[in-house]
């Protein structure tokens, strides 16, 4: 736990008591604050009260009396489509609104750092897709290099639930747009922008607001090194804004998957399965990614480029990074190989593909696919995936979106399976040698599952039971 600094003796209210809320309450109490809590769910309030926290409804008269700050969990709207009533009440009462990421950055560095031989490094990773895999890759590479590593934020442990800093520690935080948008303090040493595609638009008032939230990590955070994906215009724009020197490109490392990056700056890109590093107009390293089974497809090659760029910024050598990438074990629910049947049929769990852009990346990774898709659809459905329908041997559709997806697929073979059980049964029964059974839903899970993790675990359990594993 990282004790929160700056609120000792002051009253602070924590709104939302999920994965980040309760750790925030504990860290505030550890730092000497008087902590009040609130959650719209009675069970969550009861769990917090069992730990000795007092519940106080901030929307009721006197609920914010004497409160210096309100710490809001990322799942709670703070602006669009409408602010939560408690957030609006805090505004009216003049109470500072922050989140656990803001508290982390005001509390992680302490006077004890003066005794360290090597200062800790905080790496923050954001983007629409690939954040978790990239964060896990960075941690894997840095850990094999002998660095003490922690991973948290939107993935893994809550930021304030991490351990206090040690000499030379590397902390990797995966940050969502919600977390960046509200944090009052941002101070990464290395910041990574992966990509941008339409997602969470209701929470940001459109694409402009969504990008603006991501951009705060660089504008306000002022990182010493910025690793920026430039495969979309937003990334190209951001790289240009952050650059300080026209000749060297400092402090930016541009990354890409699918095209060669030229120019005098520092570039890392992947093409035809090979990762290349160029500096000052010449190639300085190359890595063959084609044999890394846990990083299939162009999207994972972009993740590898980002992790490579961060590792180089940490002082690691190309050969050292190459060996670490080759031993990466993969991440659950993200292009995860579940099983390979005797006839060569592979089963892949990409339950994290909760939007069309992520599903596109998954579909591009394989040629003959038995596709399990559906759930609670995002805006626009799957129409944008039309050019990839030729890769689909058959689709097995589940959840609320099943009928709409079937209509969009048109002549592409499909059936409405309804449930995951039926979809797995039918896909495995019909899969032919060399094909891939792929769960890449292109949807949120909330119509049938509590989370994409729960959905992915259920898929894995069904597959292993069917194959006798």
Residue 201 lies in a domain: yes
**The predicted structure's pLDDT at residue 349:** 96
- Give the range among 177-186, 203-212, 227-236, 453-462 with minimum mean pLDDT: 203-212
Residue environment code for 137-150, b if the CB has 16+ CB neighbours within 10 A, otherwise e: bbbbbbebbebebb
- Give dist(CA 174, CA 155) in Å, integer: 6
Whether residue 447 has pLDDT greater than 90:
yes
How many domains, the chain? 3
Q: What are residue 251's DSSP bridge partners? A: none
**The predicted structure's pLDDT at residue 159:** 96
Identify the CA nearest to 313 among candidates 180, 223, 222: 223
Residue 220 lies in a domain: yes
Do 296 and 405 have their domain in common? no
Do 64 and 147 have their domain in common? no
**The predicted structure's pLDDT at residue 243:** 85
* Banded model confidence at residue 212, pLDDT cuts 50, 70, 90: very high
Whether residue 245 has pLDDT greater than 70:
no
Instruction: Tell me what the mean pLDDT of segment 4-14 comes to.
Output: 97
Do 143 and 206 have their domain in common? yes
Instruction: Tell me what the mean pLDDT of segment 389-407 comes to.
Output: 97
Residue 77 lies in a domain: yes
Whether residue 334 has pLDDT greater than 70:
yes
Instruction: Identify the helix (H) or strand (E) that includes residue 466.
Output: helix 452-467
Do 377 and 259 have their domain in common? no
pLDDT tens digit sequence for 136-148: 999 999 999 999 9
What CATH number is associated with residue 158?
3.40.1190.10
Q: What are residue 415's DSSP bridge partners? A: 396
Whether residue 359 has pLDDT greater than 80:
yes
Residues 6+ apart with CB under 8 A from 352: 132, 333, 334, 358, 452, 456
Compute the mean pLDDT over every residue in the chain, rounded to the nearest whole number.
94
* Banded model confidence at residue 263, pLDDT cuts 50, 70, 90: confident
215: left (phi over 0), alpha (psi -120 to 50) or beta: alpha
Do 376 and 301 have their domain in common? no
- Give dist(CA 364, CA 418) in Å, integer: 25
How many other C-beta atoms are found inside a 10 Å radius of the C-beta of residue 388? 17
What's the token pair of residue 373? 């898709």
Instruction: Tell me what the mean pLDDT of segment 153-182 comes to.
Output: 95
Instruction: Identify the helix (H) or strand (E) that includes residue 126.
Output: strand 121-126
Residue 104 lies in a domain: no
Residue 178 lies in a domain: yes
Domain boundary among 98, 129, 149: 98
Instruction: Tell me what the mean pLDDT of segment 379-407 comes to.
Output: 96
Instruction: Tell me what the mean pLDDT of segment 70-98 comes to.
Output: 96
Do 183 and 301 have their domain in common? yes
Whether residue 246 has pLDDT greater than 70:
no
Peptide bond into 154 cis (omega under 30): no
Do 350 and 290 have their domain in common? no
Which residue ranges make up the annotated binding site for ATP?
Answer: 127-133
- Give dist(CA 139, CA 151) in Å, integer: 7
What's the token pair of residue 233? 């215009």
Whether residue 332 has pLDDT greater than 80:
yes
Do 269 and 365 have their domain in common? no
Residue 120 lies in a domain: yes
Which residue ranges make up the annotated binding site?
Answer: 127-133
Instruction: Tell me what the mean pLDDT of segment 29-50 comes to.
Output: 96
Whether residue 370 has pLDDT greater than 80:
yes
Tell me the whole-structure pTM to 2 decimals. Answer: 0.84
Question: Are the C-beta atoms of residues 297 and 291 closer than 8 Å to each other?
Answer: no
* Terminal-to-terminal C-alpha distance of the chain: 38
Identify the CA nearest to 90 among candidates 102, 105, 103, 78: 78
Residues 6+ apart with CB under 8 A from 105: 122, 183, 185, 186, 187
**The predicted structure's pLDDT at residue 15:** 98
> Which domain covers residue 42, as residue numbers?
11-98
Do 276 and 349 have their domain in common? no
Identify the CA nearest to 175 among candidates 235, 268, 105: 105
CA distances from 155 to 22, 193, 265, 292, 408 (A): 16, 16, 31, 23, 33
Residue 108 lies in a domain: no
What CATH number is associated with residue 340?
3.90.190.20
Whether residue 161 has pLDDT greater than 70:
yes
- Give dist(CA 445, CA 452) in Å, integer: 6
User: Number of helices and strands (H, E) in the chain?
Assistant: 15, 22
| SS3 labels along 295-313 | CCHHHHHHHHHHHHHHHHH
Whether residue 247 has pLDDT greater than 70:
no
Do 309 and 228 have their domain in common? yes
**The predicted structure's pLDDT at residue 357:** 87
Peptide bond into 12 cis (omega under 30): no
SS3 of residue 159 by DSSP:
helix
SS3 of residue 287 by DSSP:
strand
**The predicted structure's pLDDT at residue 200:** 74
Do 316 and 177 have their domain in common? yes
- Give dist(CA 34, CA 32) in Å, integer: 7
Whether residue 198 has pLDDT greater than 70:
yes
């Amino acid at each position: 736990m990282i004790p929160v600094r700056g609120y000792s003796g002051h009253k602070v209210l924590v709104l939302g008591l999920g994965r980040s809320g309760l750790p925030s309450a504990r860290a505030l109490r550890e730092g000497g604050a008087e902590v009040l809590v609130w959650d719209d769910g009675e069970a969550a309030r009861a769990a917090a009260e069992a730990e000795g926290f007092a519940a106080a409804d901030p929307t009721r008269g006197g609920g914010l009396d004497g409160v210096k700050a309100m710490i809001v969990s990322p799942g709670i709207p703070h602006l669009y489509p409408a602010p939560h009533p408690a957030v609006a009440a805090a505004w009216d009462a003049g109470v500072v609104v922050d989140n656990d990421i803001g508290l982390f950055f005001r509390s992680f560095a302490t006077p004890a750092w003066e005794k360290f031989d090597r200062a800790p490094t905080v790496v923050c990773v954001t983007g629409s897709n690939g954040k978790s895999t990239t964060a896990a890759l960075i941690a894997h590479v840095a850990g094999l290099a002998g660095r003490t590593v922690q991973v948290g934020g939107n993935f893994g442990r809550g930021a304030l639930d991490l351990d206090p800093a040690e000499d030379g520690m590397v902390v990797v935080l995966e940050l969502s747009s919600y977390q960046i948008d509200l944090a009052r303090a941002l101070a990464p040493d290395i910041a990574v922008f992966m990509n941008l595609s339409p997602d969470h638009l209701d929470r940001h008032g459109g694409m402009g607001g969504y990008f603006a939230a991501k951009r705060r990590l660089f504008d306000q955070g002022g990182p010493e090194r910025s690793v920026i994906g430039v495969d979309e215009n937003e990334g190209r724009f951001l790289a240009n804004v952050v650059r300080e020197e026209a000749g060297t490109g400092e402090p930016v490392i541009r990354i890409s998957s699918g095209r060669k990056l030229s120019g005098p700056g520092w570039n890392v890109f992947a093409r035809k399965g090979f990762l290349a590093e160029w500096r000052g107009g010449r190639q300085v390293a190359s890595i063959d990614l084609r044999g890394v089974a846990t990083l299939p497809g162009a999207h994972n090659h972009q993740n590898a480029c980002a992790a490579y760029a961060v590792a180089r910024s940490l002082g690691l050598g190309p050969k050292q990074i190459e060996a670490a990438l080759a031993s990466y074990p993969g991440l659950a629910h993200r292009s995860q190989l579940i099983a390979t049947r005797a006839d060569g049929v592979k089963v892949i769990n990409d339950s994290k593909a909760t939007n069309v852009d992520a599903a596109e990346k998954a579909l591009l990774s394989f040629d003959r696919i038995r596709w399990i898709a559906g759930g609670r659809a995002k805006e626009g459905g799957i129409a944008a995936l039309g050019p990839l329908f030729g890769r689909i041997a058959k689709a097995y559709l589940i959840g609320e979106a099943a009928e709409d997806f079937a209509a969009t697929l048109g002549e592409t073979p499909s059936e409405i399976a309804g449930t995951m059980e039926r979809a797995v049964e039918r896909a495995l029964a019909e899969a032919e040698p060399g094909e891939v059974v792929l769960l890449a839903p292109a949807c949120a899970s909330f119509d049938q599952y509590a989370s994409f993790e729960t959905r992915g675990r259920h898929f894995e359990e069904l597959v292993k039971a069917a194959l006798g594993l």
